[in-house]
Amino acid sequence: MKRKGLDMNKFADWQVGNDYEVIKLLGQGSYGAVASAIHKPTGTKVAIKQMKGVFEDEVDCKRILREIAILKSLKNRFVVGLFDLIEPTDTKNFDTIYLVLQLAESDLKKVIKSAIYLEQKHISTVVYNLLCGLQYIHSANIIHRDLKPANILINEDCTVRLADFGLSRSMNGVDS
């Protein structure tokens, strides 16, 4: 039996500085982990994406840099916003990067697997918002390349934000 308060330090290894308080783990994958957090100076709820071992593999390193560059360039209500890149405490010896992103209530994968019943108007709104997001990133010459329900963030009001641009590519310079 776990005693209350025993996992108070489960985010002790998250080096997010004094401005953020990590609250709850939202998901994990091969890239790292995402947790909800609070930006203490403003009280804003955010998501923090922790990516470990960023320099272990050259391909992964390039993917992370590409994702950051793409997120910095895309500014649209249908794309998850990048708020901050947390500076490492030791800028000469670090292997973990923290991205501070817009927080969404869920993702489409969780909604599909849940017992939530979506009416036709909800489905239509979600699909329309998803298509608007795709139209925007395509107009910015970006191809997502990893579009799946887990990378489509969704809120209760059916607003949608595209996320996880690690496999994305720019179409600039590509012959059709």
Cβ atoms within 10 Å, residue 4: 6
The yes-or-no answer on residue 146 being catalytic is yes
Spatial CB neighbours of 84, under 8 Å, sequence gap ≥ 6: 99, 100
> Of 13, 146, 157, 175, which one is the catalytic site residue?
146
Rg, C-alpha atoms of the chain: 17
Helix (H) or strand (E) holding 60: helix 58-73
Handedness of CA 115, 120, 122, 128 (dihedral sign): positive
Q: Which residue do the tokens 């091969």 mark?
A: 30
Cβ atoms within 10 Å, residue 157: 9
Q: Which residue do the tokens 């949608």 mark?
A: 160
Q: List active site positions.
A: 146
